Structure 1
Amino acid sequence: MSLPQCLIAIVLAGTSLVTYAKGGHTSTATADKPGVTLPAKNHSSPFASMRGGHVGLRVADYKAAKQWYVEKLDFRVVKEWPFNGQHLAYIAPATDDRFFIELLGDGERPTPKPTFKDLNASAQVAGYHHLCLDVADVDKALATLRKRGVKVVAEPFLVPDIKRRLAFIEDPWGNVIELAEEVK
């Protein structure tokens, strides 16, 4: 069984939500994303128990990818295991136990991702584009990442509709990572 190159999913467990009523309509906004209002939950759905699982990131060099995420982004290795001739691991940000990336590495060499000259060019390809990591201060995060030799794909910019300042970085294999700071 071969695994797709860009299999991405996110582990999100226990996200705090705030429910409020507005004009007779109950709505939910995430505590972490105050600029986003969610529609009412559909408890009658046959998929009502569905939750986010994890993001799987196919990498050609398991050890190098694990090392990069640990050394550059301070991720922690949660669990490692072999599967089908590959090495797999759950990794998590320094203090977040709700978000995992699953590294799927080694085994048959995957097809490399295309490279792009900038963020806008990368948005022209259908499918997975990026994962987002919330940070307290985008500028401080970028300063640290630059010192660690991380490639910055897009400098910080404001998106008022979601009350966020965003910047984008890239890992050595072309995977785009958004850094998001809440603007109050």
Structure 2
Amino acid sequence: MCASHRPVESPAAEGPPAVEPGPPDGPPATALDHVGLSVRDLDAALSFYRDAFGLVEEFRFTVDGARMTAVVLRSEDGWAVELLHRSDSVDPVVRYARPDEAVRNRGYGHLCVRVQDLETVFERLLAAGATVIVPPGPAPHPAVRYSYMADPEGNLLELVHFGAGADLAAPA
């Protein structure tokens, strides 16, 4: 069960925070809130995502029956990463290092983060311990630049910058 909904009151509250109900006639979904990553080393993952993206710990909780600890880190812009740790977690059978190969595994492929300055964020991730997969360069869409990296556990991360005039409806 995922519990990282935006809190109504104090972000320092223990456990899952309360959420405000939406209007009954509103859209069924309003935004992607977070991505959950199962990690081998919770402390190392916390350090990486805090240092790399400037995320702040919103709250943490444990699920004793599942022997799981979770920590939700959130950006100033509102997106979040939920780091999930179980001491008995296992590595995937096959982990592909490149984004074009990762789609061979069904399910999670990569986490994409929109950035203002691709090169600066790229360097920040390198300093935090990321590995370069695809260096910054032009994307298939006009006025878009991107890069792929892997976090210290091998999870693929895409950085994307939409320049002036970027048209995602244009053919690639």
Fold match by TM threshold 0.5: yes
Paired residue for 1:79, among 59, 76, 85?
59
Does 1:158 find its partner at 2:138? Answer: yes
**Cross-structure match for 1:149:** 129
**Cross-structure match for 2:107:** 127
Percent of aligned positions that are identical: 23
Q: Secondary structure at the match of 1:139?
A: helix
**Cross-structure match for 1:32:** none
**What amino acid maps onto 1:87 in structure 2?**
T
| Cα-Cα RMSD | 2.8
Q: Is the 8 A contact 2:146 2:159 kept in 1?
A: yes
- Report how far residue 172 of structure 1 moved: 1.5
CA-to-aligned-CA distance 1:44-94 (integer Å, 9 cap, x gap):
xx993234343211112222211221123322111111113211111123x
Give the TM-score, by structure 1 length.
0.65
**What amino acid maps onto 2:72 in structure 1?**
Y
CA-to-aligned-CA distance 1:120-159 (integer Å, 9 cap, x gap):
3223332211111111111122123223332111112323
Q: Secondary structure at the match of 1:161?
A: coil
Q: Give the 3 Å change call, closer, same or farther, for CA 113–162 of structure 1 in structure 2.
A: farther
Unaligned 5+ runs, structure 2: 7-24, 165-172
**What amino acid maps onto 2:40 in structure 1?**
A
**Cross-structure match for 1:91:** 73
Question: Higher strand fraction: Structure 1 or Structure 2?
Answer: 1
Does 1:65 find its partner at 2:25? Answer: no
Unaligned 5+ runs, structure 1: 13-45
CA-to-aligned-CA distance 1:20-57 (integer Å, 9 cap, x gap):
xxxxxxxxxxxxxxxxxxxxxxxxxx993234343211
**What amino acid maps onto 1:159 in structure 2?**
A
